[in-house]
Structure formats: C-alpha cells, structure tokens
C-alpha cells in the first residue's frame, strides 16, 4: 500500500548512477530547445552549452548529444564513419548509444530510425520517418575567411558572404575549377550559408528538398544547426559554372559490383587503384543479393551516376 501522502521516495524514481540516455534532464531540455530553434531557422548555427560526454571532443560529441536527446528504447540506431558501420569509432559510439538507451543497433539504413554519421550520407534515400545526425568538426563555413567566431556570427547576421564567393572565384582563376573538396558551403533556405559537415560534394544534393530531417552538431565548437525536411540547400556556385560532384559515377566497386555510388580508392601495390563502395553496408547488401539472398535495397539517391533525389 502506498502512503496517502507524497514522500520524496514515492515522488522520485529510484536512484541510478546515470540518467536515461546519459545526459541529465537539464542538458536534454537545453538540447531540445536548441534543436527546435535550429529547425525553425534552417542553417543558422545555434550556440549550446555542449556538455562533456564520455568520449573525447572532436570524436562525435556533438552528434552524440543530439542522438542521446532523440533516442528512446524503441529507436534503431545506425552509426557510420566515412560510410562504414564497423569503423572503430562508429562501433564505439553505437555501442555507447545502445548501452545507455537500450535502443537497437543496426547497420541497415532502411531499418534505422536515427542515423548518426561522420563525413557521409548513406546512398539509400532517407525517409520522412528517419533522422540524420551529422557530426561536425567545424560548423563555421566562414572560418577560412574569418577565424574569429564573434565576427563570423555578425557576418551571418548581415548575410555577408562576399568573401566566400571570392574564395571560390579565386579558385576558378587559379586552378580552372572550384577546388573545394568536402564540406562544400551551401545556402540553406535562401538565407544562411552552412557547412554541410565534411561530407563529399557527392552527398550535398541529398540534403536539398529531402524528406528527412538533418541535424548537424559540433560538440567542441558548441554549435548546432538543422536542415528541416523539404528545405532548399543550394551549394554556392556561379550561374555559368555548374556544381560538380566527385567524378565517381563510372567507377565500379571491386567487391560488390556496385556502380554509381561514392567510392573509396584503394591503392594497389602494383600501381593503380581499385575502388570499393564507401557505403559499406550497401556493398554488403549488394554482395548478399548477388549470392541469391533476398535482401532489400532501398531506392538510391543516384541512378546511373546521376542524382535523381
């Protein structure tokens, strides 16, 4: 029989060493508020306290704080690093997430409710019931032209992006093409320029008018921002110089036979290179399917090396 009056014991939960999902409620509340703000102003960097978490800064602590806030026991999490589920740090983060939340782990993009990623967006198209969490080392697209964050913040407020355009123009003049590799700056919702995190140029179109929500979070730099579903994400380009993704459309994965996906280049001792699909689990699924297994592969963003969305 419970007492008719409230006591501290019956009002509170039993003591536990850590809160559900590791972060304490005050940290989660702040995260939720900042995530909602970030969704409300697409591409705009929201400063947040960014608590220490039990992995080192620069190792996905920003993405981790977002995922820890979103996660629930019914979640299914996929964590990739450079496209690979079994990459050591991805494995470590996935194990931690499962340990503190009881959520299920998966390698399959189709099965995941939350995909936390470093440097890649999976090749299978994400759905509107999935959330993509990108780990961000440097949230500031203006960093190369303005390392001082407080000045850069003012430049965003003024939509003062002239110097970014100038950098791209100088690359055209010097090298005959835009030399920006990964982390290609993009204009979000026609207002804020963001860095899409160091994903390859191949992946940036996947954010444009996407069905899924993308949250980008830099733990060390204490900034998070978002690309809500059906939001315009336009890489900065000149009207007469089209945006160029990496020249991978015609490469073939030597392991899975996949074509028209982003590839890892594997140097060969005898000279030359082989290529393997960077989205490692898509590669695995393709191999299994070729071996006769009934494996479901979702629709891809790219068909025949062309972006279809």
35-43, 156-164, 172-180, 188-196 -> range binding other proteins (CB under 8 A): 172-180
Using CB under 8 A as the binding rule, whether residue 61 contacts other proteins is answered as yes
Nearer Cβ to other proteins (55/111): 55
Using CB under 8 A as the binding rule, whether residue 26 contacts other proteins is answered as yes
What residues between 221 and 240 interact with other proteins by CB under 8 A? 222-223
Using CB under 8 A as the binding rule, whether residue 28 contacts other proteins is answered as no
Extract the tokens encoding 11: 């009002």
The CB-of-84 to other proteins minimum distance in angstroms stands at 6
- Return the beta strands (E) in the chain as ranges: 46-47, 76-81, 104-105, 114-118, 131-135, 186-188, 192-194, 213-218, 223-227, 233-235, 263-267, 273-277, 302-303, 306-307
Which has the closest alpha carbon to 43: 158, 189, 143? 189
Measure the N-to-C terminal CA separation of the chain; round to a whole number of Å: 59
Among 41, 145, 149, 287, binds other proteins (CB under 8 A): 149
Nearer Cβ to other proteins (154/211): 154
Among 31, 35, 39, 51, binds other proteins (CB under 8 A): 51
Burial class (CB in 10 A: 0-12, 13-18, 19+), 202: buried
Please, where are the H alpha helices in 138-265?
Answer: 149-157, 162-175
What residues between 31 and 50 interact with other proteins by CB under 8 A? 47-50
Please, where are the H alpha helices in the chain?
Answer: 8-11, 25-40, 61-70, 88-101, 149-157, 162-175, 280-290
Q: x/- binding map, residues 267-286, to other proteins, per CB under 8 A?
A: -----------x--------
The CB-of-277 to other proteins minimum distance in angstroms stands at 12
Using CB under 8 A as the binding rule, whether residue 22 contacts other proteins is answered as yes
Among 32, 33, 40, 54, binds other proteins (CB under 8 A): 54
Nearer Cβ to other proteins (92/252): 92
The CB-of-57 to other proteins minimum distance in angstroms stands at 3
Please tell me the distance from the alpha carbon of residue 228 to that of residue 222, in angstroms, as a whole number: 20
- Give the DSSP letter of residue 300: B
Which residues are within 8 A (CB) of 120 and not within 5 positions of it... i.e. 6 or more apart? 80, 82, 83, 199, 200, 203, 262, 278, 279
Extract the tokens encoding 62: 């920003």
β-bridge mates for residue 235, sequence order? 186
144-152, 162-170, 285-293, 295-303 -> range binding other proteins (CB under 8 A): 144-152
Among 119, 125, 206, 285, binds other proteins (CB under 8 A): 119
Nearer Cβ to other proteins (61/214): 61
Which positions lie near other proteins, rule CB under 8 A? 18-19, 22-24, 26-27, 30, 47-54, 56-59, 61, 81-84, 86-92, 95, 118-120, 137, 147-151, 153, 175-183, 198-202, 220, 222-223, 244, 246-248, 262-265, 278
């Amino acid at each position: 029989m419970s007492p008719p009056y409230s006591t501290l014991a019956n009002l509170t939960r039993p003591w536990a060493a850590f809160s559900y999902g590791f972060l304490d409620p005050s940290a989660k509340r702040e995260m939720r508020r900042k995530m909602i703000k970030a969704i409300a102003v697409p591409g705009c960097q929201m400063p947040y306290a960014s608590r220490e978490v039990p992995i080192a800064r620069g190792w996905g602590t920003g993405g981790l704080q977002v995922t820890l806030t979103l996660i629930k026991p019914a979640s299914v999490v996929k964590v990739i690093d450079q496209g690979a589920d079994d990459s050591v740090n991805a494995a470590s983060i996935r194990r931690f997430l499962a340990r503190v939340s009881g959520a299920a782990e998966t390698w399959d993009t189709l099965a995941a409710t939350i995909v936390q990623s470093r440097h890649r967006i999976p090749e299978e198209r994400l759905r509107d019931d999935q959330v993509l969490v990108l780990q961000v080392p440097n949230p500031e697209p203006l960093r190369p032209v303005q390392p001082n964050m407080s000045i850069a913040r003012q430049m965003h407020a003024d939509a003062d992006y002239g110097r970014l355009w100038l950098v791209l123009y100088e690359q055209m003049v010097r090298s005959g093409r835009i030399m920006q590799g990964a982390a290609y700056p993009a204009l979000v919702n026609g207002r804020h320029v963001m860095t899409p995190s160091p994903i390859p140029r191949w992946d940036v179109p996947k954010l444009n008018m996407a069905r899924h929500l993308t949250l980008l979070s830099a733990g060390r730099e204490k900034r998070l921002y978002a690309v809500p579903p059906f939001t315009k994400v336009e890489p900065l380009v000149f009207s007469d110089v089209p945006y160029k993704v990496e020249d991978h459309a015609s490469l073939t994965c030597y392991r899975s036979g996949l074509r028209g996906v982003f590839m890892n280049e594997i140097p060969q001792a005898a000279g030359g290179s082989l290529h393997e699909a960077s989205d490692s689990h898509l590669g695995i699924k393709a191999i299994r399917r070729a071996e006769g297994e009934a494996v479901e592969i979702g629709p891809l963003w790219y068909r025949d090396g062309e972006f279809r969305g």
